[in-house]
Amino acid sequence: MGKEIERKFLLAGDEWRKNARGHVFRQGYIGSRPGRTVRVRTCNNTGFLTLKGKSSGITRLEFEYPIPLSDANTLLAELCEQPLVEKIRYLVDYEGFRWEIDEFLGDNAGLCIAEIELSAEDQPFPRPPWLGEEVSGDIRYYNSNLRENPFKNWKKQ
């Protein structure tokens, strides 16, 4: 059984960019309802199908499987709810921990989120100086919700 234990943070600076490597992600949702999502994603020349369950704290079930890129592109175009979520994901290592920093594109441009996956909810980790406010429990920052209520609309609300 796959479990994801993840914390999310806003950023408080750009220092993380110094040695960051970025890759473009395109993702869409075949179904996203509270408690479960079915996501299709592409990165480079690989496709993925991911199923996620309901969050309990910062933990939820997650099952991810590689699929052929052509299948992923067809699913994104034909079966996924539109619009797609697009972002550049950077991998940043800090004091023995790997951070994934997502810089969103399109209707979510201007939003950057740092994520860290942990082995336990109470696992300690060093806080990089560029780390800002924690938003782990704020559903507005879930990628599936960014499709429905993109960041560009938040300023108007």
Q: Which positions are catalytic?
A: 29
CA distance 132 to 155: 19
pLDDT for 137 equals 87
Domain count, the chain: 1
pLDDT for 147 equals 92
Percentage of residues in the chain with pLDDT exceeding 90? Answer: 83
| pLDDT tens profile 46-99 | 999 999 998 888 999 999 999 999 999 999 999 999 999 999 999 999 999 999
Q: Is the pLDDT of residue 34 over 80?
A: no
Q: Give the domain extent around 30.
A: 3-154
pLDDT for 35 equals 82
> Given 3-state DSSP classes, what are the helix, strand and coil percentages for the chain, each rounded to the nearest 5?
20, 50, 30
Percentage of residues in the chain with pLDDT exceeding 70? Answer: 98
CA distance 81 to 143: 13
The arithmetic mean of pLDDT across residues 128-133, rounded, is 97
The DSSP secondary structure of 60-86, one letter per residue, reads EEEEEEEE-HHHHHHHHHHTSEEEEEE
Q: Is the pLDDT of residue 6 over 90?
A: yes
pLDDT for 101 equals 97
CATH number at residue 120: 2.40.320.10
* Cα dihedral across residues 138, 116, 155, 86: positive or negative: negative
Long-range contacts of 116-124 (CB under 8 A, 24+ apart): 116/6, 116/7, 116/9, 117/4, 117/5, 117/6, 118/5, 118/6, 118/7, 118/58, 119/5, 120/5, 121/5, 121/57, 121/58, 121/59, 123/5
Residue type, 63: F
pLDDT for 20 equals 87
**Average pLDDT, rounded, for the chain:** 93
